[in-house]
Structure 1
Amino acid sequence: MVTSEAGRTEAEAGAAVAHGSAVDRLVAEIRELVARRALGIGDALPRERELGEMFGASRNTVREALTVLRAYGLIETRPKVGAVVADGHGEALRRLFSFHSGLSPDSFRDVQGFRRIVETGIGDMLVLSAGPADCDRLDAVNDRILTAATVAERAAADYAFHEALVDLAGNRTMLATYRLLRPVIEEIMRLGKAARPVQANTHEAHGRIVAALRARDRIAFAYRMSRHLEYGLQFLLNDEEGRRPGPALRPEAP
């Protein structure tokens, strides 16, 4: 059978589009798998063969999908482990918000504004659905900040409390988006964490937020969260003015 050049070109183009769509679909499915299994940075993905069997994809399609994810910094390859969830997006976010040259008040307010939408927005749901056991778990996560020894550990403990709140809402997309911003949020949470009073103030503020959940007080929850999200701005302004916070730090409003 004779096939024209135009016929071959159309057939090849159609195959390429179909293959590209298969790769795109698999990229989306692997990202959903990461979110569904709550895989964190450093956690391994299933092997190529397993991914192919899981999603009915050829080995070439799996490899191309992993290449796309690697190009976006979402995964990396480690010897003897294979593909693992990476933190490449974190560096991109740090550059985006210019943290290497200093966080500005405007950037602070932008990020905290996003967090306010998420973290106060879930209040209506949490005050109705969070039970005593949920509040006990939040208190246990909050207590980690008191034993954290370094600024990085305190920021990580602070973040863990807020992520636990978002997780409690049960919305996977919202949780995945919040986790995407973790490097940026933790940079903000480092503000003032070198001072012990800030560590105690943060723990107390978290405790008040949990107390509002226990009391099923939606207004108190929104107020406590909003005040807490503004707390770090004083340390940023102090740094911009060339001052360091002294022993007498202004606590959050009771």
Structure 2
Amino acid sequence: MEATPKIEPIISTTMADQVEERLREYITHKAFRPGDAIPKEVELAEALGVSRNVVREALSRLRMLGMIDTKKRRGMILTQPDILSGLERMMHPHILGTDTRKQIFEFRLVLEVGQAALLFVRKTDEGIQKLEAIVKQESQVLTIQEKVDCEIAFHSALYEMAGNETIKRFQAMLMPVFEYVVEYETDHDFHTVGSVTHRDLVNILKNGTPEEFTSGMLKHLEPHLLRLA
């Protein structure tokens, strides 16, 4: 029996899909910048040879993505897209599958380890003092929930110290999943501390190097990483 030929399948797309793709290509090819006016709906329909309804649907999709907006007296303009807004609306642990939650948690662990260079460039005495206050509070906690709260507060303070607004926003977006996993581990007696503690990490920030911090964070997160493996 002859083997099935390796041919790419035909992908069915709607007219609105095609118009959306053409508009993206047009905006890129013309090197539009945020604030630039784009052609009117009727002009686009005529140039593309489609109805205004099809163009309107494609433009509506771009508007939902934050790529275009309508301004009084100016018409449609290109805007700076908000790349995280759609994710923010969906990032809730109870509407995400187990595999997705696991992958998001893994991604957050990668961010934790990878922020060392930024921390050492942007650390301040005030930021160090905030971390030390959390460590002190952590040493006095009496309940598991208080311990979880300190864990979250410490790592959130590190993101704040790193000073990258996109990373901070992304961290805040991932927080519900992070809280969910940490609380799950705690409830199932999985929550153990790595060989490097929060206090150790603060000491490295004060007196060590970015390389030592990266190594320390890996050891701090080792219980999570072993369970994921």
TM-score scaled by structure 2? 0.55
Q: Which amino acid aligns with 2:164?
A: N
Could you tell me whether the CA contact under 8 Å between 2:131 and 2:154 is conserved in 1?
yes
* Residue equivalent to 2:115: 122
CA–CA distance in structure 2, aligned partners of residues 111 and 122 of structure 1: 17
User: Aligned runs of 1:221-240 on 2, under 5 Å?
Assistant: 221-232=213-224
Q: Aligned in 2, Cα 1:140/1:117: closer, same or farther, shift over 3 Å?
A: same
Which ranges of 4 or more aligned residues in structure 1 deviate by more than 4 Å? Answer: 69-73, 110-113, 192-195
Quick one: percent identity of the two aligned structures?
22
Q: Aligned in 2, Cα 1:16/1:184: closer, same or farther, shift over 3 Å?
A: closer
Q: Aligned in 2, Cα 1:124/1:22: closer, same or farther, shift over 3 Å?
A: closer
Q: 1:80-128: CA deviations, max 9, x gaps?
A: xxxxxxx8623233x33388xxxxxxx5xx5665344312221122123
Deviates more, 1:170-179 or 1:186-195: 186-195
Could you tell me whether the CA contact under 8 Å between 1:124 and 1:218 is conserved in 2?
yes
CA–CA distance in structure 2, aligned partners of residues 158 and 122 of structure 1: 17
* Residue equivalent to 1:17: 58
CA–CA distance in structure 2, aligned partners of residues 22 and 216 of structure 1: 47
Could you tell me whether the CA contact under 8 Å between 1:112 and 1:229 is conserved in 2?
no
Q: Which amino acid aligns with 2:62?
A: S
In the alignment, is residue 90 of structure 1 matched against residue 93 of structure 2?
yes
1:72 positional shift: 7.5
Q: Which amino acid aligns with 1:165?
A: L
Q: Where in structure 1 are there 5+ consecutive unaligned residues?
A: 1-5, 30-54, 58-68, 75-86, 100-106, 238-254
Q: 1:162-194: CA deviations, max 9, x gaps?
A: 121122112222222222322332234333579
CA–CA distance in structure 2, aligned partners of residues 98 and 169 of structure 1: 26
Larger radius of gyration: 2
Could you tell me whether the CA contact under 8 Å between 2:92 and 2:177 is conserved in 1?
no
1:211 positional shift: 0.7
1:73 positional shift: 7.7
Aligned match for 1:170, one of 159, 163, 170? 163
Q: Which amino acid aligns with 1:11?
A: R
Across the aligned residues of Structure 1 and Structure 2, the Cα RMSD in angstroms comes to: 4.1
Q: Aligned in 2, Cα 1:97/1:150: closer, same or farther, shift over 3 Å?
A: farther
* Residue equivalent to 2:178: 185
* Residue equivalent to 1:141: 134
1:138 positional shift: 1.3
1:134 positional shift: 1.4
Q: Aligned in 2, Cα 1:167/1:25: closer, same or farther, shift over 3 Å?
A: same
TM-score scaled by structure 1? 0.51
Q: Aligned in 2, Cα 1:92/1:143: closer, same or farther, shift over 3 Å?
A: farther
Q: 1:31-56: CA deviations, max 9, x gaps?
A: xxxxxxxxxxxxxxxxxxxxxxxx85
Q: Aligned in 2, Cα 1:115/1:14: closer, same or farther, shift over 3 Å?
A: closer
User: Aligned runs of 1:21-32 on 2, under 5 Å?
Assistant: 21-25=62-66
CA–CA distance in structure 2, aligned partners of residues 91 and 224 of structure 1: 32
Could you tell me whether the CA contact under 8 Å between 1:127 and 1:216 is conserved in 2?
no
* Residue equivalent to 1:33: none
In the alignment, is residue 212 of structure 1 matched against residue 215 of structure 2?
no
User: Aligned runs of 1:145-160 on 2, under 5 Å?
Assistant: 145-160=138-153
